[in-house]
A and B are shown apart, each in its own frame.
Chain A
Amino acid sequence: MPKISLNMITQRSIEEGAAMEKGKTNPDYFDACSICEMHPDDMKKAGIWKNTNVLVTSECGSVIVKAITATQYVPPGLAHIRQGVWANQVVPPRTQSTGTPQYSGFPVTIEPAPDEKLKTALQLVQGSVGLWKGGQ
């Protein structure tokens, strides 16, 4: 499978804010945050089709998200996952001794994973601390 190395940022979006205020277990929150935006050229290089799932891997973890056409233009070489549960699966906790993690500007590899399923917010967070009781 082809892979592509990109620079990842995690930022706000109004859809994310609006969904969060409906509740983090609301389906809107899942739709708003489990996505990754990147430049069409980068998607082509890695063989990623629009609206298919991809595996994003950083130095400290990985997550399955859906690759979509950018809602706000992203230049080649840059990728964006909206802040939230999915983004924070791959955000490195290194703080440069300031208390603030590396939320923006960390290297990731992205590869197509069209057959992998997205996980819900609860599944990701409860799963990572051994409390998830549901199915896969």
Chain B
Amino acid sequence: MPKLIKGVGCPYCGSSCDDIEVLVSDDETRILEVHNACIIGTNLFHHANDPTRPRLPRQRQPDGSVKEIPYEEAIDYFAKTLLAAKKPLIYGFGSTNCEGMSAVGRIAEKAGAVLDNCATICHGPSFLAMFDNGYPSCTLGEAKNRADVVVFWGCNPMHAHPRHTSRYSIFPRGYFTQKGQMQRTVLCVDPRETDTAKLADHHLMLDQSHDYELFDAFRTVLRGFDIPEVVAGIPREKIKEAAEIMKKAKFCMIFFGMGCTHTDGRNHNIDAAISLTRDLNEHTKCSIMAMRGHYNIAGPGQVWSWQFGFPYCIDLTKGSHAHMNPGETSSIDLAMRDEVDCFVNVGTDAGAHFPIQAVQHLKKHPWITVDPNFCMASEIADLHIPVRIAGVDEPGVVYRMDNVPIQFRAVIKGLPGVPSDEELFDMVYERMCELTNTAPIWLAAKEDRKYPQNPAVI
């Protein structure tokens, strides 16, 4: 009998929906049906059935072809390459669980590596603004139960976080918002008329890259001063009207995305957005939230902040002190200045999502990809190590966009012999300790370790 598993977490976007139902075959090896998920989540679960999923590491040969090798060999190569490198870069972690992120921290420390995650090319500027200006935020339940004005600034949840509007922000009927959508006023700020803008009551179609001016105009209006006739392509009256709506809100919720972090000004746009949120709190209650991308991209920020004190761009090359300075220690900047001599891609696809010039710089040196599937990063790597898929055949903790931790479960059995990220990194850590004749202190200290099975091995 096929089994219906409820309360499954979806390992795709930052909404981290945990109400998915998955029908699995009676031997728990195949996913038959996926309920409640959006099309992206549905495709993700079904893709795990792909019979061509890699089961063994593949190493590039001198003639450019790739050959399957046993895990022991791959782990040995991984450990030796990291130890030989003067300044390796370990990047990714949007799509893995917190246990894997914690395990890789131990390797990075051992290797004297730079540890970075996808925030660096995504909401990294938001972190920079938070360092400067704070983060007056809330959880998504607050938005659902209280928000009567919702602003989507430079984000397009209908495409990027498909169930966000139906779970948290527009449509749900919450405790103080029992009329659901009817009770909420939705504002959208975007240079395109996106599908989110079509849902909104007010669309401020600003000139692209002029967000900072518009934030300034809003703050000026809120403080009772006059503004020019047109700011960022938006007429004065429209700005005043929108500012009045936000001011009169019982609870105003601002969501922002790549429209602010990827454009001119980067962190300064977010900085202005946070200042606007503070200003609005003079009049009403207002919260701001970054539309984090991957289901667990808030995870490395949390895990590494606890481990090293910094969320991303962590330079561990000193051995005893961590250092962070995006612009100096970020993946793209290091790549463009040729400052790293080994690249490890984990749970992401730098091959597809880095600007191609950065890929060309990184490819001058050994490139190791740890990923459950074939992707661009695996197809240009010197070594591709397959792992289990967090949230599909490996359980674990993930952090939603509002930093709420959710326990994801495994719905099917993993491929035989394929380790999880955590197990793989623990094995690499142990091998690095063997090669350097040091005691694997972190493995010994780990009470709930999965590898090695028998603690007497250590």
Q: Which residues of A contact B (CB under 8 A)?
A: 7, 9-14, 17-25, 60-61, 70, 72-75, 78, 80, 83-85, 88-89, 91-93, 95-105, 121-122, 124-126, 128-129, 131, 133
29 contacts between A and B (CB under 8 A): A9-B192, A10-B262, A12-B160, A12-B258, A14-B39, A14-B162, A17-B162, A21-B41, A21-B47, A84-B352, A93-B332, A95-B327, A98-B124, A98-B267, A99-B331, A99-B332, A100-B125, A100-B332, A101-B354, A103-B258, A104-B259, A104-B262, A125-B356, A125-B376, A126-B379, A128-B359, A129-B360, A129-B363, A133-B64
B352 touches A99 (CB 8 A): no
Q: Note all chain B residues with C-beta closer than 8 A to A102.
A: 262, 264
A95 touches B356 (CB 8 A): no
Enumerate B374-419 residues with CB–CB distance to A below 8 Å: 374-376, 379-380
Most buried by B among A7, A25, A83, A100: A100
Q: Note all chain B residues with C-beta closer than 8 A to A121.
A: 352, 376
Closest to B205 in A: A75
Q: Does B326 contact A (CB under 8 A)?
A: yes
Contact residues of A: prevailing secondary structure: loop
Q: Does B237 contact A (CB under 8 A)?
A: no
B333 touches A97 (CB 8 A): yes
Q: Does B179 contact A (CB under 8 A)?
A: no
Given the interface pairs A98-B327, A98-B330, the reply to whether A105 lies near B193 with Cβ below 8 Å is no
Q: Which residues of B contact A (CB under 8 A)?
A: 12-13, 38-41, 43-44, 47, 50, 64, 120-122, 124-125, 128, 156, 158-160, 162, 191-195, 205, 208-209, 258-259, 261-267, 313, 326-328, 330-333, 335-336, 349, 351-360, 363, 373-376, 379-380
Q: Note all chain A residues with C-beta closer than 8 A to B160.
A: 12, 17
**A14 CA to B40 CA, complexed, in Å:** 7
A72 touches B124 (CB 8 A): no
B156 touches A11 (CB 8 A): yes
Given the interface pairs A11-B258, A23-B374, the reply to whether A99 lies near B379 with Cβ below 8 Å is no
Q: Note all chain B residues with C-beta closer than 8 A to A23.
A: 47, 50, 373-375
State how many angstroms separate the Cβ of B413 from the closest Cβ of chain A.
21
**A91 CA to B358 CA, complexed, in Å:** 10
A98 touches B352 (CB 8 A): no
A88 touches B162 (CB 8 A): no
Q: Note all chain A residues with C-beta closer than 8 A to B44.
A: 21
Given the interface pairs A11-B258, A96-B266, A131-B64, the reply to whether A72 lies near B351 with Cβ below 8 Å is no
Most buried by B among A7, A9, A11: A11
Most buried by A among B120, B128, B159, B266: B159
**A80 CA to B191 CA, complexed, in Å:** 11
A97 touches B205 (CB 8 A): no
Closest to A63 in B: B356
A93 touches B357 (CB 8 A): yes
Q: Note all chain A residues with C-beta closer than 8 A to B261.
A: 100
**A78 CA to B259 CA, complexed, in Å:** 14
B356 touches A89 (CB 8 A): yes
Closest to B373 in A: A23
State how many angstroms separate the Cβ of A70 from the closest Cβ of chain B.
8
A95 touches B359 (CB 8 A): no
B332 touches A101 (CB 8 A): yes
**A64 CA to B156 CA, complexed, in Å:** 26
B121 touches A101 (CB 8 A): yes
**A88 CA to B40 CA, complexed, in Å:** 22
B192 touches A75 (CB 8 A): yes
B357 touches A100 (CB 8 A): no
**A92 CA to B125 CA, complexed, in Å:** 17
A18 touches B120 (CB 8 A): no
Q: Note all chain B residues with C-beta closer than 8 A to A12.
A: 156, 159-160, 258
Most buried by B among A24, A89, A121, A133: A24
Given the interface pairs A100-B120, A100-B262, the reply to whether A7 lies near B208 with Cβ below 8 Å is yes
B40 touches A104 (CB 8 A): no
**A64 CA to B382 CA, complexed, in Å:** 28
State how many angstroms separate the Cβ of B335 from the closest Cβ of chain A.
8
